[in-house]
């Protein structure tokens, strides 16, 4: 026979399960939303600059020039640095003919007071033809997410931001609905117990 006590226990377990899943989704979605909104706002304020997230910029590797250090399809994170922080052997992300390259600094020279950086891909036989200046550098490589390039690109997409916001609203609405139902069940149990005690007395 199915007893009220068993039903209450099952209901509590289901509520706890849904609560855990909801918290997990919040932990996963909210940081991505914050990341996306930050990049979106910064790109609106400075449309000609690559937006950063607390000093870090993300790039997706599309060539084999830095293999095996960095592989094609990796998502890399480069940190904005001052010119004084740059040194030989740093891996930097920089503008190169309208694209972003990520190569290693192999030499630093002072050309009539202008500091210039010679770069080279670890997998390339020769150095890059053009020396670059600090104003072309986006940041110094810090770490990579192996094979996560495509995922990072999707997460940075404005459509992804809209979808995640909709999902968050739907989850929040469902959670509110669940809480209301749970509150109503509590009230019904309270009334039932109250009436039951009256009958016994």
Residues 106-147: tens digit of each pLDDT: 999 998 889 999 999 999 999 999 999 999 999 999 999 998
Q: Return the SS3 of 90.
A: coil
pLDDT attached to residue 9: 57
Q: How far apart are CA 192 and CA 7, in angstroms?
A: 15
Q: In the predicted model, what is the mean pLDDT of residues 74-82?
A: 95
Q: What are phi and psi of 122, to 5 degrees?
A: -55, -30
pLDDT for position 102 = 96
- Helix H or strand E segment including 12: helix 4-45
- Confidence at 167, pLDDT banded by 50, 70, 90: confident
Distance of alpha carbon 187 from alpha carbon 147, whole angstroms: 52
Rounded to an integer, what distance in angstroms lies between the CA atom of residue 139 and that of residue 76?
Answer: 11
Of 11, 20, 16, nearest to 189 by C-alpha is 11
Q: Which of 137, 149, 154 is nearest to 73 (CA)?
A: 149
Model confidence over 22-76: pLDDT tens digits? 787 778 788 888 888 888 888 889 888 899 999 999 999 999 999 999 999 999 9
């Amino acid at each position: 026979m199915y007893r009220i006590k068993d039903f209450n226990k099952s209901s509590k377990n289901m509520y706890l399960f849904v609560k855990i899943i909801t918290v997990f989704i919040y932990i996963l979605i909210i940081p991505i939303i914050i990341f996306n909104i930050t990049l979106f706002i910064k790109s609106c304020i400075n449309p000609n600059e690559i937006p950063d997230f607390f000093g870090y910029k993300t790039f997706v590797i599309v060539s084999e020039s830095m293999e095996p250090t960095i592989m094609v399809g990796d998502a890399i994170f480069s940190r904005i640095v001052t010119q004084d922080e740059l040194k030989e052997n740093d891996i930097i992300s920089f503008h190169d003919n309208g694209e972003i390259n990520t190569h290693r600094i192999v030499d630093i020279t002072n050309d009539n007071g202008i500091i210039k950086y010679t770069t080279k891909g670890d997998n390339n036989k020769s150095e890059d033809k053009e020396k670059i200046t600090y104003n072309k550098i986006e940041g110094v490589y810090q770490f990579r997410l192996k094979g996560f390039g495509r995922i990072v690109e999707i997460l940075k997409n404005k459509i992804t931001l809209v979808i995640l916001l909709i999902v968050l609203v739907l989850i929040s609405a469902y959670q509110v609905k669940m809480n209301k139902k749970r509150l109503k069940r509590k009230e019904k149990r309270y009334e039932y117990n109250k009436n039951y005690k009256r009958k016994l007395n």
